[in-house]
């Protein structure tokens, strides 16, 4: 079957670093997306990884290991506005859809 797992909730402190993990099992895997969703709003695109390794974009980085079916999103210098849900989604090329995880709710405390 096709499945994505990520932790339900995480808590971190302002200014700190947090790593949100995502493991996936999909057939025809062709890329991994991370989205951010604030409460009551639509998800917004953060990153895309298709090759193994780390992609850095300012305070946010995303890592992919295709052999392990594993990705993580790294958030540095946390700010209060980073409190949101972070969704992991895999692109399974054989059915041309995104397979979504349930999201990780991150609370950033002062």
Partner 1 sequence: DGGITQSPKYLFRKEGQNVTLSCEQNLNHDAMYWYRQDPGQGLRLIYYSQIVNDFQKGDIAEGYSVSREKKESFPLTVTSAQKNPTAFYLCASSPGAGGGLGYEQYFGPGTRLTVT
The dihedral formed by the CA atoms of 84, 29, 56 and 7, expressed in degrees to the nearest 10 = 30
Is residue 42 involved in binding partner 1 (CB under 8 A)? yes
Closest approach, Cβ 52 to partner 1, in A, equals 14
H-type helices in 22-72, by residue range? none
The interface region with partner 1, picked from 14-22, 29-37, 57-65, 66-74 by CB under 8 A, is 29-37
Closest approach, Cβ 76 to partner 1, in A, equals 23
Pairing mode, strands 44-49 and 29-37: antiparallel
Measured from the CB atom, is 78 or 101 closer to partner 1? 101
The interface region with partner 1, picked from 17-25, 43-51, 56-64, 68-76 by CB under 8 A, is 43-51
How many Å apart are CA 31 and CA 50, to the nearest integer?
A: 4
How many Å apart are CA 107 and CA 110, to the nearest integer?
A: 10
Other CB atoms within a 10 A radius of the CB of residue 68 amount to 10
Is residue 69 involved in binding partner 1 (CB under 8 A)? no
Q: Which residues from 77-96 bind partner 1, rule CB under 8 A?
A: 87, 91, 93, 96
**Chosen residue from 11, 19, 44, 109 binding partner 1 by CB under 8 A:** 44
């Amino acid at each position: 079957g096709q499945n994505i797992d990520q932790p339900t909730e995480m808590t971190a402190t302002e200014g700190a670093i947090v790593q949100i993990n995502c493991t996936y099992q999909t057939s025809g895997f062709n890329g991994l997306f991370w989205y951010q969703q604030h409460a009551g709003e639509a998800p917004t695109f953060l990153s895309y990884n298709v090759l193994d390794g780390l992609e850095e974009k300012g305070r946010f980085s995303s890592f992919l290991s295709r052999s392990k079916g594993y990705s993580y999103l790294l958030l540095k210098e946390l700010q209060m506005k980073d409190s949101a849900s972070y969704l992991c989604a895999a692109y399974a090329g054989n059915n041309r859809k995104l397979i979504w995880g349930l999201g990780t709710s991150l609370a950033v405390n002062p």
